[in-house]
Amino acid sequence: MREKNGLWTKDFTCITFSTVLSAVGGEAMNLPISLLVFDETGSTLLSALVLICGVLPDVIFSVLAAPLIDKGAKKKWIVVLDLLAAAVYLAMGVFISRYPFHYGLYLAFVLTVGTISVFYRLAYDAWYPALIAPGMEQKGYAVSNLVYPLVIIAMSPAAAFLYERISMGQIFYLVAGITLAAVFVESLITEEREKSTDGEAYTFGAYVSDLKEGLSYLKKERGIRNIYGYMSVTSGVSDGIAVLIQAFYQTSPWLTVTMLGFLRSGEMIGRGLGGFLQYRREIPVGKRYAFTRMVYTVYNIMDLILLYLPFPLMLCNRFLCGALGISSATIRETAVMSYLPEKMRARIKACFYVIFALGSIVFQFIAGILGQILSYRTAVVLLSVFTLICMLVLIVLPAQENRPVYEAVRK
């Protein structure tokens, strides 16, 4: 039985340290690959396709993987998947150290790692709550939510620096070593006996049935559809704009990839501060809708003007967007989860996980095409204007449907 001696039990400490190692390894790998592909191809479209391949497994495998994860021991899944990922990193390191750049190889690599990540995230999300001491859930998830922003703050400039200083093969070896270290830490976690499941298994057919029920609920809730429809657009456009920003930094003589790393860190610092302020002081329920509408407007305008600013103001721009973005996200999720019936929350979220992934794929592809035929600044402006129009149509005009969602309180 798990010790009830506070949050930082041995198991929780191990899973937190393992999460940090995984986040460090992921960031050390993702940014250099993105930079390398653009350096070698000079194409925003080909760069976007690499990112799309990383998201594609979420659309294809998430639903199919869930029942498999439910039936297996979560620790075994986590350890085996990390070992598999380390083997893939080592194999890539060996191959690219001997042969020149091959675009198709990197597409295959990103697809493979993305598929592994789908199974890993499902197993991790299912296992993590069991590693938090009873009564410490809120603190446990607060720690979890801080890991990735803090890692990105530190690792974005570091990853860009590594890319400029050492070979990609060495980066692959480094990440393989970090992943093996995570495996060692995960192996120290106590394996709890799986609860028997004598009842009916949660089959794919049952999942589809639940998904249909969720869709039926959405047909009656225009406010929820408006909010998450807009979020699918704005999050997808944000991913697409990120492709264009990176290309702009790699082709502008007055900018460097290290500066791009600091730009990403600036946004993460803003998120951290915004999250802290949101924790300390809540937005009154009656002002949630107006505040969120203001944030969306400012955020899109900041995206629109970003590439026309000098670098110090770009940092301020991303810092402000980070702080405002996390504030509106917290308000949105608090409001929506309060508005939805408890039995429908998971199903509605499941619907939008797929929609968000599709939005990311579509808009990264569009951004890649726009980057091929227009200047990067013009492409960013067009995408930002499109998002502003969607905000007007989905958030501002249907205020009667949206306001009750934003002003919902748990009963």
pLDDT tens-digit series, residues 222-255: 898 899 889 889 989 998 999 899 899 989 999 8
- For 161, the domain range is 1-198
Same domain? 307 vs 374: yes
CB atoms within 10 A of CB 183: 18
Give the angle subtended at the CA of 120 by the CAs of 118 and 124, to the nearest 5°: 120
How many CB atoms sit inside 10 A of residue 43's CB? 16
Q: What gap in Å lies between CA 407 and CA 308, rounded to an integer?
A: 37
Least confident of 129-138, 263-272, 293-302, 395-404: 129-138
Asked if 59 and 123 sit in the same domain, the reply is yes
Q: How far is CA 339 from CA 222, 223, 335, 397, 409, in A?
A: 13, 10, 6, 20, 7
For residue 328 the two structure tokens come to 């509106």
Residues 25 and 99 in one domain: yes
pLDDT higher than threshold 50 for residue 99: yes
- Determine the Cα–Cα distance for residues 288 and 406; give it in Å rounded to an integer: 6
Residue 233: partners with Cβ closer than 8 Å, 6 or more residues away? 359, 363, 386, 387, 390, 394
Q: Going by C-beta distance under 8 Å and a sequence separation of 6 or more, which residues neighbour residue 138?
A: none
Pick the last residue of a domain from 198, 226, 258. 198
Out of 154, 180, 198, pick the residue that ends a domain.
198
**Burial (0-12, 13-18, 19+ Cβ within 10 Å), 318:** buried
Element (H, E) at 371: helix 345-373
**pTM beyond cutoff 0.75:** no
Mean pLDDT of the 283-308 span: 91
Reported as a single tens digit per residue, the pLDDT across 188-225 is 988 654 444 444 555 667 656 765 776 677 788 889 88
Boundary (domain end) residue, out of 176, 198, 220:
198
Task: Check which CATH number belongs to the domain holding 240 and give it.
Answer: 1.20.1250.20
Q: CB-hemisphere CA count at 13 Å for 94?
A: 6
The answer to which of 95-109, 210-224, 231-245, 285-299 has the lowest mean pLDDT is: 210-224
